Structure 1
Amino acid sequence: MSYKNFPMVPRVIFGRGSFNQLSEILAPKRLSIHAPFIFLVDDVFKGNAWLTSRIPLSYEDKIVFVSTIKEPTTIQVDDLVEDIILTTKALPSGIIGIGGGSVLDLAKAVSIMLTNEGEAKDYQGWDLVKNEAIYHVGIPTISGTGAEVSRTTVLIGPEKKLGINSDFTPFDQVILDSELTKDVPTDQWFYTGMDCYIHCIESLTGTYLNTFSETYGNMALELCKEVFLENNLTKTESEEKLMMASWHGGMSIAYSQVGVAHAMSYALAFLLGVKHGIGNCIVFDHLEEFYPEGVTLFKAMKQQHNITLPQGICANLSDADFDKMISITLNLVPLWENALGKNWKTIITPKKLKELYQKM
């Protein structure tokens, strides 16, 4: 039997205020004064001097503000890469992503596409990347997606929503500074935190489960319970614990897979543009049949934080729309295998999927 030899993030720094060490981390990585560092920053920080004034710019370094109103797309990656190539004198010294999962995924994808030919859509899938990415750093400003630690970068392409899943995708350096998450709005905090919680439930109940995934998954799950169900944490403790839950949740997926909620929410994102965290929540709310204990706990968390999920998002869809979503969802074979085993096609049929989507 051959085992997958996965890469991990080789360097990580953790602690409140650790963002201030970015300058000393990047200095030895500069290739020349003409090879800039490009900072991809979530545009919610536009005009936020508390964060942007601490980004260490020198020579021809630049900040590119990135809109995250929609899920990241392969076209967005191609446009960013083209802009960098046209406006820099040399290949950048590195790409630094500062933001949530969308920005971190864009940073990973751009760093890959600067050294690989063609378009980002050509690399959606498993192990299609040929050349090592340029140096890239991930700095999350919201916790839950696990994008800071995963070997994938999830993008919406012309045909599908699928990650560039490769050994060259993980960051070379991650900075976990929970202070950067202090201003996240409650609903966004919940949806993204639930992405982590749902990772854990899907990983821990899946057929791909092994001790590696289980150990990280259990740790992340316990942290999620502390953050979302207990009332005795300070804001700082809550932020630090959720940041570590996100890290461990991302690690638990490395050797396993996600499941039904992710498979179905990918199609909601592709067709309706529903953001990943809230999409997972909308789907998971209806999955008692597959994850009875997990969904019960989810509903308790939802109630505790007064979260109301959107209803009826699939109410006006045509049969063609449903067919497109079902086709996207059923193509995610590893997710279904993990969730339901080798015979998953006998359990989850197009008719069954349509009925589930119609509830949303």
Structure 2
Amino acid sequence: MRTEITDLDTLRRHRAENRDLRGVVLVRLDLTARADDALLRTALDGALLLGCLLTPEAARRAEAAGALAFPAVPDLPYDMYRSTLYTATELFDGFDPARPESYADTPDARIYRHTRETKLDPLHALTERLHDHSISEALADAMTGHPVAVMGGHALTRDSPGYRDAVELGVTLGQEGFTVLTGGGPGAMEAVPLGVRLSHMSSVDSVNDVVRSLAMAPKFASGATVDASEIGTWLAAGLAVDLPIDHTPRTIGIPTWFYGHEPPNPFCELHAKYFANSVREDGLLTIATGGIVYTPGSAGTVQEVFQDYTQNHYSSIGPPAPMIFLGSRFWNEDVPAAPLVRKLARGREAEPWIMVTDDIDEAVTLLRSYAESVQQAGALR
């Protein structure tokens, strides 16, 4: 695995230890100063210089020594070589709750417009792929333990019983100490991380008060056409909620600008936002090594069910992890995905980790049991 260096101090220590730069990845470093330029005077075979600033002489020398230099592309509304995940504050920078239409001026909205304007441009296809690779690296760095994912539809409104149920699921997962992943958008994807972050509250009434305040802006869009003012009204209500800041983030959203008309929610502490939806979906399912809870959703959620089961069926990522269908009638009758998954799993290692239930506590008990079994197996190795 390549060594990746994203700051000058680390590079200086690396070179002070008399280590060369063969195969090393340098990201967004300003190496134009004479002392820093000297750091490159070593073996560079196979080194990658991504978005680094070099003097013309240093660039020629690095290329001659076997390095590949990829420059920064000017006038992008995003950093193609970023080394960290996004925060809601960063994505919504410049948003004024008193002017809901100002959502159109946020980085999140501007990046989405840029993707639409440059859809068939090969240069921007390359920059987006490099950005997504960087996000995957940052997401891997942010993962600890065995995170649990919750899947569900974006259309769940804040004033619906289903939204309140999803908040309660988040509260219970938060009280159990799980790191929780969602798709990062509206609906169930925001209700669960909201619950995780409200899990410190001592009373149900306090949680209900927060949900009631959000119900004043129940959805991010009123129809097929979504405008900045509608999103801004929805967003302003979310940003008004006073939430605790955890030094070890436990809620991570994984949204995509492919569905850029669906804004990321303000309740996830971090967002791994991708351009490519296929990379985002596969990544979300892969890193949810603690299991996945499926709340009612539409075609996208059903697609995730079978992508997830395929990984479990063939143990392509690791041992099968829990698949919990929360909502018996929905998953057995309305959208009968659960019976098919159970039939495919019959007699296989995945079978005992598949559950259909209406009971949040039962679902969380299975997740806890799985985490304990993984921990015990690791201790025996």
TM-score (norm 1): 0.28
TM-score (norm 2): 0.27
Structure showing greater relative contact order (alpha-carbon pairs closer than 8 Å, 6 or more residues apart): 1
